[in-house]
Chains A and B, each alone.
Chain A
């Protein structure tokens, strides 16, 4: 079923699309029929800059299994990377209301 279920994460950073690097402040995350990936359902993420109202987005559609692998690798990279750099999360990040 096509749904409108959408998990919205506030983020801080940049993404690179067809026109180059852009600021992004939101990741819209959903699990639904993909547009391009040859799957019945896919985990989709749209990186956008909601505050500017820009129509640009950087999008991915990946399988559920891929998404779970990606989540694990993101957490692993964060853990080892923050340890290697001996850093704490930046204040900008801590000020964000991450839902």
Chain B
């Protein structure tokens, strides 16, 4: 086992409507072309967790970028910026798709890009991951970590910012999907996960779902009480195995 070098830091990318935003980027320092991963942050904001996840992917041979989806409401501490975003109902889906597309274009434009780009998101970012995998610009693999409200029963949750439940876009899903869920999670509940799986089957999509007993929402968040070490470690293996098979395939 060797640990390759990596480098990380902030970069600028061009997002929705040509707006310039900031992002965290980490990549291996070794020579050679590598696949990319766009990391979508959760609703509490573009926080330290995003940067850690990028560095983990870089350690495992990927170039990763975490676009700050709240850059239009910053600068400021991530929690303060997230509070502003929450107060006005969150970021619009079309803006998120535009920003994530832009982050993927940034990765593909780098000299070390293999051309393959996956996407991963946590919590609300899991929902956005499924969304961009369906309506974004040609992602090669998607990892939905406990994205809630992919399936929506309560019409009041469909807002001007999020007018369509992402499950409705399943027919246009363009890449394999890995789903990681805790069976104690109320949103997405196991029943919602069942319905999403049924939709994927119905449309003949390539997917893998892993559902963990003894785990609830955000069970991979090491800094929260609901962190579950065994399930989290297994889930990280699943993520790296999935990306290895899909993004490194010839």
Point out residues on A near B: beta carbons under 8 Å: 1-4, 6, 8, 26, 28, 30, 32-33, 35-36, 38-40, 46, 48, 50, 55, 57, 59
Contact = CB atoms under 8 A, between A and B. Distances in A.
B200 to A, nearest CB: 20
Contact of B86 (A1, A6, A26): A6
Q: Is the interface of B mostly helix, strand, loop or mixed?
A: loop
Interface of B: 42-45, 47, 76, 78-80, 82-84, 86-87, 89-90, 123-124, 146, 148-149, 159, 161, 185-188, 216-218, 224-226
B43 A28 contact: no
A28 B90 CA distance: 13
Nearest to B224: A40
B230 to A, nearest CB: 18
Given A1-B149, A2-B124, A3-B43, A33 B224 contact: yes
Q: Is the interface of A mostly helix, strand, loop or mixed?
A: loop
A30 B226 contact: no
8 contacts: A1-B185, A3-B43, A4-B161, A28-B87, A35-B44, A35-B82, A40-B224, A40-B226
Given A4-B43, A40-B217, A40-B224, A46 B87 contact: yes
A79 to B, nearest CB: 30
Given A4-B43, A6-B89, A38 B225 contact: yes
A8 B124 contact: no
